[in-house]
Amino acid sequence: MRLAMIGTGYVGLVTGACFAQMGNSVICVDIDEKKIARLREGLIPIYEPGLETMVKENTLYKRLSFTTDIKEALASSEVIFIAVGTPQGEDGSADLSYVLGVAKSIGDLMIHPLIVVDKSTVPVGTAGKVKAAIGAAQKARGVEIGFSVVSNPEFLKEGAAIDDFSKPDRVVIGADDDHALEVMRELYAPFTHNHERFIAMDIKSAEMTKYAANAMLATKISFMNEIALICEQVGADVNKVRSGIGSDKRIGYSFIYPGCGYGGSCFPKDVKALERTALENGVTPHLITAVELVNKNQKLVLEQKIVRRFGENLAGKRFGIWGLSFKPETDDMREAPSVTLIKALIARGATVAAYDPKAVGEAQTHYLKGDAIVYATSKYDALNGADALVLVTEWKEFRSPDFDEIKNRLKTAIVFDGRNQYSATQLAKQGIEYHQIGVQS
């Protein structure tokens, strides 16, 4: 099929590359001329395992191309994906200005029937607004060209997006006409032929599915983090509690690992947007509001542990930070717990040496600047002369470090573990003072 992907951010680029990999002709559109120029050169603006290779291969074989000309893309395509950002507004709602701006452009410039697919994460009712915007633009032109609007929410995990798209748990399609539904079924057939995971539903239910899924996962994380706080106060070990409840098939082990809070582009924004949607429709979302509050407080837990150990005034103290991105296998630092922690430590007078395998550039450019923070080129260099190691993001290279090296590099052998990666028994044998989430120390 001939596809156009409007927006070359995380979702648009991954979706476009994966469709091209299956033999479709995909043209990706963005208004950022410099970004398009870099993409044409094979330079990927985000870190996602496997994406750069896939983009270069499909560009080479002319299945994937990039342009700033949306008119060109609409003329040569039959299915148009809207994959632009929906940033959080001041009131917590999703800002639909980019989505509706693209919809207007489609109505202004389309010359033949199209299927328009909402791929961006959008509130319930957005498809109706997109349809109205396209129709209004056509009316202003004095034309009436057939089109359908479909909801196709994405369920990609940063760091595993290629695999998630290629081997999906489910493909959710919300459509109100049979033709559009069958086109989408054909488009996704290469990804679902081994297992029937194509789920068709009405448009509003599809829009709601995305928010409900992310809110559910965020709820599991916040629940476990609250259990961790209780465990720490009563003398229980949250790691053992997690094993005890995770063995129950009704609960499972996924998303019940205690830590220092969730971040990223999806969970924080989507939970708040769902809360806003509920309030606007007369529902008080007690649980969803609590999920967000628990997570906000959880991001302060590592700072609180450090203050209990070193005191309120951290002037003259230096901390080695392992991990900056909000999760492993990405350079995304949006809503990352590391930002909250590092800013809090610096505000108390401390200095920081930080290391991350992929996110240092993002941190330096957008999130953490100033003389109080330096960026190390290796995990061990971040520990030189530090009063403690603080692990924030559970990258694989942090899982089995050389504890003798850690001890030798640190001024005092103290580890604060925000992801409960290590064995307390092992660190005790090494003579390292160990503080983790949900366990008294």
- Position 441, amino acid: S
- Strand ranges for 57-134 from DSSP E: 64-67, 79-82, 114-118
Number of other residues whose CB lies within 10 A of the CB of residue 116:
24
The answer to whether the Cα torsion of 101, 102, 106, 108 is positive or negative is positive
Region of residue 255 (left: phi > 0; alpha: psi -120 to 50; beta: else): left
Cβ–Cβ < 8 Å for 397, 421: no
Cα angle, residue 46 at apex, residues 222 and 75 outer, rounded to 5°: 110
Say how far apart CA 324 and CA 328 lie, in whole Å.
9
Distances (CA, A) of 212 to 128, 172, 298: 20, 13, 22
Tell me which of 18, 231, 260, 266 is the catalytic residue.
266
Contacts with 161 (C-beta within 8 Å, 6 or more apart), sequence order? 10, 14, 48, 51
Annotated catalytic residue 231: no
* Sheet containing 64-67: order of strands: 64-67, 25-29, 2-6, 79-82, 114-118, 147-151, 171-174, 198-201
Active site residues: 266
